[in-house]
């Protein structure tokens, strides 16, 4: 059995290949049961839980069990902190464990690749100017992901610490991208082709006038898009069962429908689109784990 650390995962994965793996996953018939949330009683908090998010190859639809995977994310959410854990990958042939992967790093690659996949369907093909609102540890990885599917030339940051800008500018393989910060929020929004809302980003965008043709990517699955956006922007999510999708009555499509060609993404150049990343991740976690394992 292989044990894959965060540094080993970083050495193996690139977004271009992972995005294609996730596209195939959304077109598949992978079995994804609902996550299991088991409360853990602790004297200092009421919110502790063990969370198990399973998924497996649809062996019945496949017609045999000679290939495929069974897997689950096992994470502990304690004391209100960010859940941390590992991904357990089992052989679909005999059920034996074949790998344990660092759960946080797998999730980071999966999460940013999902947004890049959505960008291919929803952002304009000539998208070059990215505006980042707010802050997140995922931003360096996200910029790299988006730059693999669109020719990003300029990144402006608002509402983040100077350290965030320094981390972005120090990323390898981004020599063609210029990085900067701004306090002119409406001016930056007017000049952007795409906006990424990180932690607190939706609050910064509240009340702003969004230009025609903009694509908005909401990074935090716990942040629901404000209802004020619903009237003039086309809304998408990773999965219709996601928390972000629950409050959206007029949801255009999820990634499964987009990748399978059941629904259209961007319909015309000046259309405004918004993608809210999801919290139902069993499908994409299994696909990402299998992708990493095959390259390790």
Mean pLDDT of the 183-202 span: 94
DSSP-assigned states of every residue in 89-151:
EEETTT--EEEEEEHHHHHHHHHHHHHHHHHHHHS-TT--EEEEESB-TTHHHHHHHHHHHS-
d(CA 115, CA 274): 11
Q: Is the pLDDT of residue 173 over 80?
A: no
Confidence at residue 15, expressed as pLDDT on a 0 to 100 scale: 97
Please report the sign of the dihedral spanned by the C-alpha atoms of residue 235, residue 240, residue 243, residue 248: positive
Q: Which of 268, 273, 229 is nearest to 249 (CA)?
A: 229
Q: Is the pLDDT of residue 79 over 80?
A: no
100: number of CA atoms within 13 Å, CB side? 6
Confidence at residue 83, expressed as pLDDT on a 0 to 100 scale: 67
Q: Is 276 exposed, middle or buried (0-12, 13-18, 19+ CB in 10 A)?
A: buried
Q: Is the pLDDT of residue 81 over 80?
A: no
Confidence at residue 218, expressed as pLDDT on a 0 to 100 scale: 93
d(CA 53, CA 208): 37
131-150 residue pLDDT tens: 999 999 999 999 999 999 99
Domains and CATH numbers, the chain: 2-107+282-294 (3.30.1780.10), 111-280 (3.40.50.720)
Mean pLDDT of the chain: 91
Confidence at residue 185, expressed as pLDDT on a 0 to 100 scale: 92
Mean pLDDT of the 20-37 span: 96
Non-local CB neighbours of 122 within 8 Å, separated by 6+ positions = 215, 236, 265, 266, 273, 275
CA angle 108, 69, 21 (to 5 degrees): 50
Mean pLDDT of the 70-89 span: 86
Q: Is the pLDDT of residue 113 over 70?
A: yes
């Amino acid at each position: 059995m292989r044990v894959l650390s965060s540094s080993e995962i970083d050495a193996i994965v690139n977004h271009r290949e992972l995005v294609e793996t996730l596209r195939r996953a959304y077109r598949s018939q992978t079995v994804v049961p609902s996550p299991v949330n088991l409360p853990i009683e602790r004297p200092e908090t009421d919110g502790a839980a063990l969370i198990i998010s399973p998924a497996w190859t649809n062996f019945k639809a496949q017609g045999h069990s000679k290939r495929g995977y069974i897997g689950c994310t096992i994470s502990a959410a304690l004391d209100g902190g960010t859940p941390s854990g590992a991904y357990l990958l089992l052989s679909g042939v005999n059920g034996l464990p074949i790998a344990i992967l660092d759960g946080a790093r797998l999730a980071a690659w999966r999460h940013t690749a999902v947004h890049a996949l959505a960008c291919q369907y929803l952002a304009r093909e000539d998208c070059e100017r990215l505006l980042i609102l707010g802050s997140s540890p995922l931003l360096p990885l996200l910029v790299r992901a988006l730059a693999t599917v669109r020719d990003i030339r300029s990144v402006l940051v608002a509402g983040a610490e100077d350290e965030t800008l320094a981390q972005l500018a120090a990323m390898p393989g981004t020599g063609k991208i210029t990085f900067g910060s701004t306090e002119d929020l409406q001016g930056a929004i007017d000049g952007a082709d795409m906006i990424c809302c990180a932690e607190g980003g939706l609050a910064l965008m509240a009340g702003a006038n969004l230009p025609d043709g903009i694509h908005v990517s909401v990074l935090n699955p716990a942040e629901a898009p404000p209802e004020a956006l619903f009237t003039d922007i086309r809304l998408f999510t990773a999965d219709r069962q996601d928390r972000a999708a629950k409050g959206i009555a007029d949801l255009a499509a999820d990634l499964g429908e987009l990748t399978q060609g059941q629904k259209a993404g961007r319909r015309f150049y000046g259309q405004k689109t918004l993608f809210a990343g999801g919290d139902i991740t069993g499908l994409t976690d299994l696909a990402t784990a299998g992708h990493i394992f095959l390259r390790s």
